[in-house]
Amino acid sequence: MTGTSHNWSQRLVNWARMKSPWITIFNSGGCNACDIEILACLIPRFDIERFGILAKGSPRHADILIVTGPATLKQATRLRRVWEQMPEPKYVIAMGACGAGGGVFHGLYHVSESVDAIIPVDVFVAGCPPRPDEVINAVVTCLGLLAEDIAHGGKGWRQKKVVEHPDTMPHGEVQV
Amino acid sequence: MTDPLTEDVVAGTMSTFGTVEHVRKNRFRITTTPDQIRDAVKTVHAALSCDRLVTISTADTRQAFELHYHFTGQHRTLVTVTIAIPRDAPELPTMSDLLLPAGIYERQIHDLFGIVFTGHPDLARILLNEDWPENEHPLRKDWKPDGKTFYGGTPPEGR
Amino acid sequence: MAEVIIPIGPQHPALKEPVNFRVIADGEKIVRLELTLAYTHRGIEKAAESRDFIRVLPLLERVCGICSHSHATVFAKGIEEIMQVEIPPRAQYIRTIIAELERMHSHLLWLGVAGHEIGFNTLFMWTWRDREAVQDTLEEMSGNRVHYNMNEVGGVRCDLSPSQVRAALARLPLLEERLKKYVAMLEEEETMLLRFKGVGKMTRHEALAYGAVGPTARASGVACDARHEDPYCVYAEIPWDVVTDTNGDVYGRTCVRIGELRESAKIVRYCLEHLPEGEIRVPAPKVAPTGECLSRYEAPRGELVHFIRTNGTDKVERLDIRTPTLANWTSVAMCLAGQHLADIPVIVAAIDPCLSCTSRLTVLDNSTGTGGMITFDELRRRNRARWQEEERT
C-alpha cells in the first residue's frame, strides 16, 4: 500500500463523513422539547435527510451524538456508556440551556453538574428549546470542527484526552 | 353525569370517621385517623359512588406526614380523605388491594418521603437512581444534599 | 423455568423518552408488566419550594416539553384560587386559546408517532407538517414554539394583537381541511384499521378500575374530562363537546384524539372570534395566604393535578404534581396482559406517554428460556411480520 493510495482512501472517508454525518439522539432526562425539535428536523419543512444526515438508532453507527436534557443522575452513567460505544471520530452536541449547565434544573438534587462533566462536548446550542434551524446550524458547526480536526490530525489541539474508566460508577467523595 | 353531592349526604355518611369540611363549591375534606383510613376509603368508594381515585398527595408539615386521598365520580364532586402519620414512625397499610392505581403512587411516596406501606406487593425504587443511598428521602423538609455523600451519576473527575 | 432479561436501553432509535419496562412473557404473549421509570426525575417538586411565583412558572413549564402550558396554567390558577384573585375575561380567553392550540399540536404529534409505530411514516410526515402551522401560530403569539411562558399569577403576560388573531384565523381553514382527511383515513386506511383495531382493549369497567384518564379513558366510554368536571378558563361558557368512543382499543383512542383535534379547532376559532376587550392581567399579591388547593386541568394526555399548599410567603410550601401519564401507566400494564409482545410499542404509544412528565424494555421469556437484546425497531418489524402473516392466512 503506497502512501498515495492511503491518502486517497482516507480522503474519501473524510469526504463521506463531511457530506453525510449520521446522528444519534440521547435524552439524558430532559423535558423532551429538544427531542421534538430534533425530530422536527426530519419532517418536510426542514428535512435534514436531504443533506445526508440520518438519525440512527445505535451509537455505534453515528458520528455525532446529540444530547438533550440536563443529564439526570439516573441517565448520567448510561450517557457515558452510550458515548463510549461510539467509534472515533465522534462529536457531541449538547442541546439547549440544559446541555450548557442544567438550564432551569441547575443545582437540583437529581441532576448532574452538566453534560460537559460527563462527556466532552464539542458544540453547545443555545435555546430552550433551540429551533430546528439552530440544530441544523449546530451540525454544520460540527462539520467545521471535523474539518479542522482532520487538518490538525485529531482533537488533541483543542481537547484533553478523556481517560476511559473501566468502572463508570465509582464511589467515593464527590462534590454534589 | 349525576347530581353533585350535597353536604348532608357527605356528612351523613362520613361523619363517623372524622370531621367533614365543605372546602369549596364541589370539594369536601374528611379528616380521619390512620387506623380508620381503609374503612373510610371503602365507604367513599361504595356509599358516595366515587369510582375514581384521582391521586394521593403527600405533604410534610414538619410535625407529621399528611396524606390526602382524592376521589371523584360521576357526580363531579371531589372528596378528599386526609390523615396524618407521625414522622418518626411513618407506616401505613397499603390501599393497592382496594384501589389498583394506588400502587404506583405509593411507590413514589415511599421513594420521596420514606413512608412504608405495609402489604404493598412491590415497594421497589421507582424515581431515584440506583446509587441513591438508602434512608435519604429528598422531599422531607429537613433533607438537604450533603456535600460528602455520593448520590449517583459519574463524578466530574470520571470524565 | 428460568426468567431471562431482555433489555431495551433507554436510548431509543426515535422519538421516545427513556423508560424501562420488565415484561414477563410466555413465548410471544405477555403475562405481566413491571415498570421502572423516571430517568427524567429531576427534583422539580423540591425546587418549587424555593422559588417564588414568578421564577417557579418557567421551571414548571419545563416539566414537559409538549404540555408545558398545562403545568403553568394549572399552577397559576391554583395560586389564584388560594389568593382569591379573579383574572380578567380576556386573559381567560387567551389562556384557553393557547391551551387548545397546545392540545392540537400534541395530538398531531401523537398521530405522527402512532403512524411511525406501525411503520406508516407518511402519516408521521403529514401530521408533523400540519403541526408546523400550529407551531407558527404559537410562535407568533408567544415568541416560542414550545414553552410559551404566557402565564403569570394574575393573568397572561402577552396580549394578542389584531394581526395575530387574523393570522391565526387564516391558518385554521387549512388545518380543518387536513383534519377531514385524517377522519376519512380512520375509516378507509387499511394499515390503521388492521393494526389498531382490537389491540390493547380496555372495557369501561377496567378503565375506571385502573384509574385511566384522558383519551385513554374516553376511548373506553368513560366521559371524564377535567374541563367538564371542574370547569376552568372559559370552558363553562363556550360551546364544546367531550369526545368519547366505545371501542376501547388503540383505534378508539385514535378516534378520540382526532375528534378532539376537531373540537380544539372549533374552540380556538370561537375564542379568537369572540375575544373580549379589556385587561390581560390584574395585580396579584406577592405573597399567597396560607391555604391549600387541588387544581385540575385537562392536559392533552389527560387530567393533570397539582396539589398546592401555601404558607403565607411568596413560595409554595408543597407542590405535588400528578401527571396523566402516571395515572395511565397502571392501565397500560394491565391491558398489555394477553397481548402480543410485538404490540407493545403500539399500546404504549396509545396512551401518549409523556415520560418527562412522569419519569428500555426488559422482556423475561418464561417459556423458551432464551433472551437477547430487543429494540423497539425489532418489535415493530415483528409486528409488521405478524400482520403480514395474518393477512396471508
Average pLDDT over residues A113-139: 91
Each residue of B4-30: pLDDT tens digit? Answer: 888 888 888 888 888 888 888 889 999
The residues in A 100-159 lying below 8 A from C, measured between CB atoms, are 103-105, 108-111, 128-129, 131
Residue A160 lies in a domain: no
Question: What's at A110, amino acid-wise?
Answer: H
- Chain B CA closest to residue A121: B159
Rounded to 10 degrees, what is the CA torsion of C216, C219, C223, C229?
A: 30
pLDDT at C4: 42
Domain range for A88 is 17-152
For A29, which of C39, C109, C377 is closest by C-beta distance?
A: C39
pLDDT reading at A119 higher than 80:
yes
CATH code of the domain in which A131 resides: 3.40.50.12280
Percent of chain C with pLDDT over 90: 58
Q: How far is B110 from chain A (nearest CA, A)?
A: 16
Name every chain A residue with its beta carbon within 8 A of the beta carbon of B131.
73, 169, 171
Q: How far is C107 from chain A (nearest CA, A)?
A: 13
A80 touches chain C (CB under 8 A): no
The residues in B 119-148 lying below 8 A from C, measured between CB atoms, are 122, 126-129, 138-139
Interface test mutation site (partner C, options B127, B136, B141, max chain C beta carbons within 10 A): B127
Name every chain C residue with its beta carbon within 8 A of the beta carbon of B68.
294, 307
Name the DSSP letter for residue B56: E
pLDDT band (50, 70, 90) for residue A166: very low
- Chain C CA closest to residue A32: C65
pLDDT at C376: 52
Count of structural domains within chain B = 1
Residue B118 lies in a domain: yes
The residues in C 250-279 lying below 8 A from A, measured between CB atoms, are none
pLDDT averaged over chain A? 84
pLDDT reading at C146 higher than 60:
yes
- Residue recorded with cell 375564542: C271
Residue A165 lies in a domain: no
Residue B143 lies in a domain: no
Each residue of C225-269: pLDDT tens digit? Answer: 999 988 999 999 999 999 999 988 889 999 999 999 999 999 999
pLDDT at A65: 94
Q: How far is A78 from chain C (nearest CA, A)?
A: 8
pLDDT reading at A38 higher than 70:
yes
Q: Does the beta-carbon distance from C129 to A43 stay under 8 Å?
A: yes
Q: How far is C81 from chain B (nearest CA, A)?
A: 10
Domains and CATH numbers, chain C: 60-325 (1.10.645.10)
Each residue of B98-151: pLDDT tens digit? Answer: 888 888 889 889 988 999 999 888 787 877 877 788 888 888 888 888 777 777
CATH code of the domain in which B79 resides: 3.30.460.80
Each residue of B44-97: pLDDT tens digit? Answer: 988 888 888 999 999 999 899 999 999 998 888 999 999 999 988 889 999 888
Residue A132 lies in a domain: yes
pLDDT at C246: 92
Residue A77 lies in a domain: yes
Q: Does the beta-carbon distance from C318 to B52 stay under 8 Å?
A: no
Domain range for B43 is 7-132
Residue A173 lies in a domain: no
Count of structural domains within chain A = 1
- The model's pTM: 0.88
Q: Does the beta-carbon distance from C210 to B99 stay under 8 Å?
A: no
pLDDT at B157: 52
pLDDT reading at C31 higher than 70:
no
Q: How far is A1 from chain C (nearest CA, A)?
A: 39
Each residue of A61-110: pLDDT tens digit? Answer: 999 999 999 988 888 888 888 898 899 889 999 999 999 988 899 888 88
pLDDT band (50, 70, 90) for residue C148: very high
Q: Does the beta-carbon distance from B60 to C318 stay under 8 Å?
A: yes
pLDDT band (50, 70, 90) for residue C346: confident
Residue A172 lies in a domain: no
pLDDT band (50, 70, 90) for residue A163: low
pLDDT at C238: 93
For A120, which of B148, B151, B159 is closest by C-beta distance?
A: B159
Q: Does the beta-carbon distance from A110 to B130 stay under 8 Å?
A: no
Residue A8 lies in a domain: no
Phi, psi of C236 (to 5 degrees): -80, -15
pLDDT band (50, 70, 90) for residue C391: low
